[in-house]
Amino acid sequence: MRLERTWIDADLTNIASGALPAAGDPFAYVTADKVARVLYRGVFGGVHELYLQPGASWIHADLTDIAGTLHKVDPQISAVVQAVCPSGRVDKSPPIWHCQGPTRPIDALLIAVGLNDVGFGDIVETLVTNNNPPQSDPTHIDQIESLQSDVDAKMAVLPTLFRQLAKSIGDNLSVRRVYLAEYPDPTHDENGRFCNQKPEGDLFGHLLLPNTHLHFQLASGPSNAWAPSGIDAHEAQWASENVARRLNSLLKQVADSQGWTFVGGIADAFATHGWCAGSPDQFIHDAVTWDPYRPVQRFIRTYEDSRYTQGPFEVWRYGDSHGAMHPNAQGHEVLKNQLLAAIRRQGL
């Protein structure tokens, strides 16, 4: 819409450099100062704004990044910025702090991309609540086909985002080496097989849940009072092949194309340490003896791990704990060791 209130059609993502495609319908309005603004949710879930001032070009702002920076500025971040900017002259204007003077070279810049960057949280939710028989091939299930389309779209935009990131690093930082880390594949048990309705009593394994106690609606619909949760071997295999392995292959290509060091071996280190790995006694949870740092076979947190570590415990909020499917302390130890080994191999 032009400021004189006549309607035109325009691809705003092409007009504004760095603007991500929208995942839903945008909301447009004109403020009192005659600035045209378009708000929308991007393909990665963030909130974005495009705005047009009179006589200017469209400008893109990632409101998620801006809000995140304003809330996350703390002494640790300040210490890092001060280390990179030895002069102490720091421009703290959002969304990203900048050095106003010359910076010392960064020895090793570590970049990690998680499965949530391609919507893995939504994928897990769909797999958990998909109540088709275990022998069903999920590639033929409507929900999985929809997920596949979303994964394809998010995978397709990642190379462009990495090129933009590489340019920003080159334009704004002095970096000796950049390391891009592989992501764990969380889908295998202690024998290297795909997780199959394990562990018992966990949202990822096999658990009968009343539909009304879930924050999301089970695939079976509201007519069933109880429905099983869980991820079977076919679904785990689909997630491994179409999300985890595919993302890691793309990360390797990105690292090679940008001259970065790809830190591999991480997925292999998790090959017998997925969310379902271990004997039944390793999946027992109680509020008195639960220790999130107790050594176990699995390197990935189950839903019950997350619930007992950070809550919530209310039955009616079952499904609302958001720490599941992330590496536990042992998993992070693996990540640390792989990164340090890669850095040391290059003499840093």
Residue type, 154: K
Residue 140 pLDDT: 45
Q: What region does 21 belong to: left with phi over 0, alpha with psi -120 to 50, or beta?
A: beta
Residue 68 domain-assigned?
no
Task: State the average pLDDT over residues 62-67.
Answer: 58
How many helices, marked H, and strands, marked E, lie in the chain? 10, 11
Digit-coded pLDDT (tens) for 90-128: 676 655 566 676 667 888 999 988 777 777 777 787 777
Structure-block tokens of residue 183: 């992501």
Same-domain check for residues 92 and 139: no
* pLDDT score of 56 more than 90: no
- Confidence class for position 3, pLDDT limits 50, 70, 90: very low
CA 201 to chain centre: 26
The total of other beta-carbon atoms located within 10 Å of residue 262's CB is: 18
Same-domain check for residues 93 and 110: no
> Final residue of a domain: which of 104, 123, 154?
104
* pLDDT score of 292 more than 70: yes
CATH code of the domain in which 335 resides: 3.40.50
Same-domain check for residues 85 and 146: no
Angstrom CA distances, 154 to 157, 158, 164, stand at 5, 6, 15
Residue 289 pLDDT: 84
* pLDDT score of 136 more than 60: no
Digit-coded pLDDT (tens) for 230-283: 888 988 998 999 889 999 999 999 999 999 999 999 999 999 999 999 999 999
Same-domain check for residues 261 and 272: yes
Share of the chain above pLDDT 70, in %: 66
Q: Identify the CA nearest to 297 among candidates 261, 267, 273, 265.
A: 273
Helical packing angle, 120-129 and 142-172, nearest 10°: 160
Better-predicted residue by pLDDT, 192 or 117:
192
Digit-coded pLDDT (tens) for 159-189: 998 999 898 888 877 889 999 999 999 999 9
Contact 249, 256 (CB under 8 A): no
Residue type, 316: W
Same-domain check for residues 189 and 319: yes
Same-domain check for residues 169 and 270: yes
- Structural domain total, the chain: 3
End-to-end CA distance of the chain: 54
Same-domain check for residues 129 and 244: yes
Determine the 3-state secondary structure of 300 from DSSP: strand
- Confidence class for position 328, pLDDT limits 50, 70, 90: very high
The residue range of the domain holding 23 is 12-62
Digit-coded pLDDT (tens) for 293-304: 999 999 999 999
Contact 172, 98 (CB under 8 A): yes
Same-domain check for residues 234 and 96: no
Of the CA atoms within 13 Å of residue 313, those in its CB half-sphere come to: 6
Residue 306 domain-assigned?
yes
What pTM does this model have? 0.67
Same-domain check for residues 110 and 147: yes
